[in-house]
Amino acid sequence: SAVISQKPSRDICQRGTSLTIQCQVDSQVTMMFWYRQQPGQSLTLIATANQGSEATYESGFVIDKFPISRPNLTFSTLTVSNMSPEDSSIYLCSVEQATDTQYFGPGTRLTVL
């Protein structure tokens, strides 16, 4: 499976600020995904990031709050904008490889004060 890295691994941010999370893959992949895992909860898909087109957002998530970039087939960023304590979560990127299987990066643990 692909090797996926995320930066930063964790961060503590102030309310009202923004944080950009990077996801890097060691091979070219068509589909990249961004998930959120709130404390004690399961994973919820935020959006699908396709290279060369705008991200597709799930219900309850909007581009103004979670802008996504996908400049090439190995890289994507997710920005969490105008943060509030409710945004404290683990943010995970995943990539799809053979047979519709998704593999996850190590995650970014975000705490908003």
Partner 1 sequence: QKEVEQNSGPLSVPEGAIASLNCTYSDRGSQSFFWYRQYSGKSPELIMSIYSNGDKEDGRFTAQLNKASQYVSLLIRDSQPSDSATYLCAVQRDSSYKLIFGSGTRLLVRP
Interface residue with partner 1 among 29, 83, 92, 110 (CB under 8 A) is 92
105 scored as a contact of partner 1 (CB under 8 A): yes
Q: Residue 30 burial by CB count (10 A; 0-12/13-18/19+): exposed, middle or buried?
A: exposed
- One-letter amino acid at 67 equals P
CA distance 103 to 88: 23
43 scored as a contact of partner 1 (CB under 8 A): yes
11 scored as a contact of partner 1 (CB under 8 A): no
21 scored as a contact of partner 1 (CB under 8 A): no
100 scored as a contact of partner 1 (CB under 8 A): yes
* Strand spans (E) along the chain: 4-7, 10-13, 19-25, 31-37, 43-50, 56-57, 68-72, 75-80, 89-97, 101-104, 108-112
66 scored as a contact of partner 1 (CB under 8 A): no
Interface residue with partner 1 among 27, 44, 72, 82 (CB under 8 A) is 44
Q: Which residue stretch of 20-28, 38-46, 62-70, 81-89 sits at the interface with partner 1 (rule: CB under 8 A)?
A: 38-46
